[in-house]
Amino acid sequence: MALELMVNGKLHAVSAEPETPLLYVLRNDLGLVGTRFGCGLGQCGACTVLLDGVPVQSCNLPLDAVAGRAITTVEALAPAQALHPLQAAFVAEQAAQCGYCTSGILVAASALLARTPEPTDLQIRQALDAHLCRCGTHVRILRAVHRAARVLRGEQDAA
């Protein structure tokens, strides 16, 4: 079955069954491999994308639930090959170790910063609660999100 998906601002025609998980189409059909397969149950956050600006887990989200809606992956954070302030902050704060969870966290944090320019620790924790980081960089992730928020507000340079 042919479906049209709006991914990162571009319309894509894909041939897949309506119940196919969005994650599979993103990775296998569209080559957007920044979104990761983690648990396959929507419990770890590695597969997080934005659906109309809201973080969702794509591993158990069927295609027929996303048709006609805006899907944003981690690749859209920095389309001009420059780092997004969140990505730069993660590097500066050494917030990613193995990096497996990072793309999902970046996407969810970008949604948080879009609606809350000056988040508290509690707001960051709540926004990222669905994300498992097995490396234990949680404190560094908090610092990185705060750093990115300051950069996006124009209070600090990205470096």
Q: What is the pLDDT of residue 36?
A: 95
Domain count, the chain: 2
Q: What is the pLDDT of residue 159?
A: 63
Instruction: Please give the residue range of the domain that contains residue 94.
Output: 85-152
Q: What is the pLDDT of residue 34?
A: 94
Q: What CATH number is associated with residue 52?
A: 3.10.20.30
Q: Indicate whether 158 belongs to any domain.
A: no
- Regions of the chain with pLDDT less than 50: none
Q: Are residues 131 and 101 in the same domain?
A: yes
Cα–Cα dist 69/79, whole Å: 20
Give which of 133, 60, 148, 72 is closest to 101, Cα–Cα.
133
Q: What is the pLDDT of residue 147?
A: 97
Q: Are residues 146 and 110 in the same domain?
A: yes
Q: What is the pLDDT of residue 158?
A: 64
What would the two tokens of residue 103 be? 């793309």
Cα dihedral 13/26/44/68 (nearest 10):
-20
Q: Indicate whether 54 belongs to any domain.
A: yes
